[in-house]
């Protein structure tokens, strides 16, 4: 078997993830929030640049303005990161509806085995370990009568 070839469950998970995220990104609420976040960043930094070049503005307050802009930029970028992570979780939920939890869990575990360092994560992205924990959750034995099993 070719080590580069993907198993059907892996391929299904990758394709369904891409399609679900694309559908969530196309939603107007998601796009408007991202647009407003990046627009706020550009506006704040444009005001700082204008303040620097404007002759009547006090120069002693400029470092304070820079610090406030940096803090605001970090907060906005963090909020955009959290929005992207929420969207990824919603896309995983949609993928589970399409493919079923068992098939998705098999695909995610196969991707984890293929990828050695799956705890690594990119900006705005969940790691495979986080996705597996979210999608597959914990196993509930059948003898626990009070707990409800979720498919």
* pLDDT confidence of residue 1: 46
- Residue labelled with tokens 């930094």: 45
- Taking the CB of residue 32, how many other CB atoms lie within 10 A of it? 10
Comparing 23-27, 108-112, 124-128, which segment has the lowest mean pLDDT? Answer: 124-128
Residue 122 domain-assigned (yes or no):
yes
Q: Over the chain, what is the mean pLDDT?
A: 83
Give the chain's domain count.
1
Residue 140 domain-assigned (yes or no):
no
Answer for the pair 7, 110: CB distance below 8 angstroms, yes or no.
yes
Residue 25 domain-assigned (yes or no):
yes
Residue 57 domain-assigned (yes or no):
yes
Residue 105's closest CA among 147, 138, 143?
Answer: 138
Residue 83 domain-assigned (yes or no):
yes
Residue 70 domain-assigned (yes or no):
yes
Residue 32 domain-assigned (yes or no):
yes
Structure tokens at 112: 């984890």
Residue 1 domain-assigned (yes or no):
no
- Taking the CB of residue 143, how many other CB atoms lie within 10 A of it? 6
Q: How far apart, in whole angstroms, are the C-alpha atoms of residue 146 and residue 149?
A: 10
Q: Which domain holds residue 96?
A: 8-135
């Amino acid at each position: 078997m070719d080590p580069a070839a993907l198993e059907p469950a892996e391929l299904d998970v990758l394709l369904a993830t891409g399609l679900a995220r694309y559908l969530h990104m196309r939603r107007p609420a998601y796009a408007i929030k991202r647009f407003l976040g990046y627009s706020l960043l550009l506006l704040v930094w444009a005001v700082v640049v204008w303040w620097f070049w404007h002759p009547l503005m006090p120069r002693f307050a400029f470092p304070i303005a820079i610090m406030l802009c940096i803090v605001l930029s970090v907060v906005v970028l963090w909020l955009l990161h959290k929005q992207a992570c929420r969207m990824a979780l919603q896309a995983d939920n949609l993928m589970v509806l399409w493919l079923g939890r068992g098939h998705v869990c098999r695909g995610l575990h196969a991707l984890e085995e293929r990828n050695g360092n799956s705890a690594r994560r990119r900006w705005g992205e969940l790691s495979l370990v986080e996705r597996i924990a979210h999608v597959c959750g914990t196993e509930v034995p059948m003898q626990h009568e009070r707990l409800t099993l979720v498919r």
